[in-house]
Amino acid sequence: MTRSKASGIRRWWIVAPDSLWRDRRFVRCWTGSAVSQAGDRVSELALPLTAAAVLDASAGQVAVLTAVVWAPHLLAIVLGAWVERASGGC
């Protein structure tokens, strides 16, 4: 953080000259990732809630739907370990 000489107040919004936040490619990548993650979290919550509220799904149906929503995440863990082992590690 930088300090204003006149007031002595820290200005947290001023970015250092060598900061990653000044790199346009990084900011675009970070923003895209943040929007994608926010969309994923909304989908994980909204899909089962919509099924329960609007479609009158039973608890078992909502559980299956939630498992289907989470399946890619769990599969990624297994596949990531498999690829890491197959490639010889770091």
CA dist 84 and 54 (Å) reads 42
Model confidence at 14, pLDDT cuts 50, 70, 90, reads confident
- pLDDT tens, 31-86? 999 999 999 889 889 989 999 999 999 999 999 999 998 898 889 999 988 998 88
With tokens 């939630």, the residue in question is 66
If phi > 0 it is left, if psi is from -120 to 50 it is alpha, else beta; for residue 10 that is beta
| Nearest by Cα to 72 from 44, 33, 34, 32 | 44
